[in-house]
Amino acid sequence: MKAIASFFTVFLLSMFLVSAGLPGIITGTVVDTNGYALQGVTVTEQGTSNAVQTDMHGKYSITVSSRKAVLVFAWPGMLTQTIPVGNAGVINIQMSPAPLALPEAEEQGQADVVSGLPENVAGVRVKPFPASMAKKSMAYTAGGSFPGYRHPSGDWNTESYSTIRENGFKDVLHNPLSTFSIDVDRASYANVRRFINMGQLPPVDAVRIEEMINYFSYDYPQPDGEHPFTVSTELSACPWNSSHQLLKIGLQGQSIDKENLPPSNIVFLLDVSGSMGAPNKLPLLKSAFSMLVRELRPDDRVAIAVYAGAAGEVLESTPGNEKEKIMAALDKLQAGGSTAGGEGLKLAYSIAEKHFIEGGNNRIILATDGDFNIGPSSDAEMERFIEKKREKGIFITVLGFGMGNYKDSKMETIADKGNGNYAYIDNIQEASKMFVSEFGGTMFTIAKDVKFQIEFNPARVKGYRLVGYENRLLNDEDFNDDMKDAGEMGAGHTVTVLYELVPAGSDEEVADIDPLKYQSARQNPQERAGNRHPDHNVTGYRAERKSGRYTDELMTVKIRYKDPESDKSTLYELPVKGRLLEPGKTSDDFRFAAAVAQWGMILRKSEFLEEGTTEAVLEAARNARGKDTEGYRGEFIRIVQTASNLSTL
């Protein structure tokens, strides 16, 4: 009896505590009307900045301040739901499609001004449209609308992407050198994932294959020599063309413990214009940057600049151990006003210069949906301005949010010109990957202006095609030009490059040029002398082939890079034998990277796709998943499966 009485005492006490409004953890799953999990649904405790997003399985977990809390479930294209918590521990939600509201031009009142900008801008009033106006098609068309969106003009969606024309095959005899800048951006993969999670296939030009490949981590050896990275290679049959070979080149940047990283001087430049009011924009931005704030150390400093109708500093440069002060400044931000992006950039660079740390990491982090009005100056002037600032040692990271008016092309340009990286944040898991899991690679540059130059041996290779990197190609002479800008590499980052090769001896025709009239007179004496080094041009390989000196080499890899604080480059050179492996002998990394590339080619409807299918991609990815500790490769498999249901790819 005492035990029973004790149980009821504990039970009644717990019920009293619940009714008293103590905090609690609420979990659940969010699905659509067909029962499919919804990733990226924003779950917010009403009236607070406390928010989380559902994971790839539609699951969430949020700690509410009290049992009187109300949860708001929001996802673009779905009807927002508001649910009181009460005594529930699990709240599962099924969301239904609904036309979304569109912002009117008129703005509400504004609060106190800080440095010329409203510190808190009231939300923009919205006007609902009848369901009959909602666009029913689930297919994305450039210049059209997303499901649930429709502007009276029929042209609300203004997303823009730079045109990509895939690299073709080059004849090794006349084009032995392949020269390009590295790319560690990952925005394309997350953006493609966003489209597919919304039930649409992405526009072709949103698919940048090198960014999709490099979204994933690969197991390359850590550097232990004079250079800050190592080079690994692997060669086997090409999965989408059995008569070709596939070459993988991997670059592994040196990992640095967080405690040993130099101090940071960071300026958050945040877009708080009216277009940022959607749940997957400013609310997600706040959650993402809160993660970064938690990673800061006492020696780090953060300032916050924002822009809407004007630009202003809402938080002066503050030590990283004053996290509550930084969080409070983030929490106050609301969306409203137009977009004065140019003013914001100038202000952010001014703040970064004022608090510059010699030998430290001086960086601006720009977060926007890309609806970027630079003001009276032109795009070219903005680019030149950013280039001047990078020469002073201030780099820029660009983060994209949201959809509908997303300007991918402009944001990629800003990051490229500013010696920075570019990513798209579509959910809270991506924010965690960017700011927690890959903190060093995101924030700290170990090498800048990193350029590849590959010289292929005509004794082994008849033709080659670089897979992706179309907007990173360089002229061959740019390789030795230290004035030519190139990509940056962060601590612990990997860079993976794929080449599709036509082996020597193949009967396949490779695009060629007419025989040159005057070259033989100039080259023959050098070939006879045999004094050309294979790093210079094909004549070296031709001359030495007679003696058999280089016939076993596949290629020579050359990399030029600069120390982050130097203007003089260093050369890393590596001859590669390139032993051809049977497909079953290749690494998981080789097969997985090939699967991602093949899927990118499927999405792009590539002319070079001879034998590739979605089923082949899925089989290869499943067999090459490996350890997959954080589940990114498993998520890739799910996304490919989802995309296969949207269309006959």
Q: What is the mean pLDDT of residues 574-600?
A: 95
Q: What CATH homologous superfamily does 23-95 map to?
A: Carboxypeptidase-like, regulatory domain (2.60.40.1120)
Phi, psi (5° rounding) for residue 34? -95, 0
Three-class secondary structure of residue 277 per DSSP: helix
Element (H, E) at 271: strand 264-271
How long is the chain? 649
Residue matched to tokens 């990815």: 621
Number of helices (H) and strands (E) in the chain: give both, helices first: 15, 28
Beta 569-576 vs 555-562: how paired, if at all?
A: antiparallel
Please state the domain extents for the chain: 23-95, 170-256+447-514+527-646, 258-443
Exposure of 170 by Cβ count < 10 A (0-12 exposed, 13-18 middle, 19+ buried)? Answer: buried
pTM for this model (two decimals): 0.75
Torsion angles phi and psi, residue 421, rounded to 5 = -115, 165
- Three-state secondary structure call for residue 73: strand
Distance (Å, whole) CA 499 – CA 246: 6
What is 424-491 written as a DSSP string? E--SHHHHHIIIIITHHHHH-EEEEEEEEEEEE-TTTEEEEEE-S-GGGB--GGGGG-TTS--EEEET
Are residues 183 and 166 in contact, defined by beta-carbon separation less than 8 angstroms?
A: no
> Which of 58-62, 461-465, 524-528, 580-584 shows the lowest mean pLDDT across its residues?
524-528
3-state secondary structure (DSSP) of residue 538: helix
HSE-CB of 302 using CA atoms within 13 angstroms: 27
Token reading at 589? 């990394």
Amino acid at 260: N
User: Quick check: 538 and 458 in contact, CB under 8 A?
Assistant: yes
- For the stretch 283-316, pLDDT in tens is 889 888 988 998 899 999 999 999 887 778 999 9
> Looking at 12-16, 61-65, 321-325, 554-558, which range is the least confident one?
12-16
Q: Which helix (H) or strand (E) holds 36?
A: none
For 157-174, what is the mean pLDDT? 88
* CB-CB contact of 331 with 286 (8 Å): yes
- Say which residue, 506 or 114, is predicted with more confidence: 506
User: Per mean pLDDT, which range of 64-68, 201-205, 247-251, 614-618 is the poorest?
Assistant: 64-68
Nearest by Cα to 575 from 535, 610, 542, 548: 535
Q: Which is more confident, 354 or 630?
A: 354
Burial annotation 365-378 (CB, 10 A radius, 16+ → b, else e) = bbbbbbbbebbeee
Q: With pLDDT > 70 as the criterion, what percentage of the chain qualifies?
A: 78
Higher-pLDDT residue of 253, 33: 253
Q: How far from 86 is each of 8, 20, 71, 72, 89, CA to CA, in Å?
A: 21, 11, 10, 14, 9
52 or 580, which is more confident: 580
**Do the beta carbons of residue 160 and residue 142 sit within 8 Å?**
no
Higher pLDDT, 69 or 121: 69
Q: What pLDDT is stored for residue 549 in this prediction?
A: 64
Q: Which CATH fold topology does 258-443 show?
A: Rossmann fold (3.40.50)
Q: Which residue has the tokens 């499927």?
A: 602
Phi and psi at residue 542, in whole multiples of 5°? -65, -45
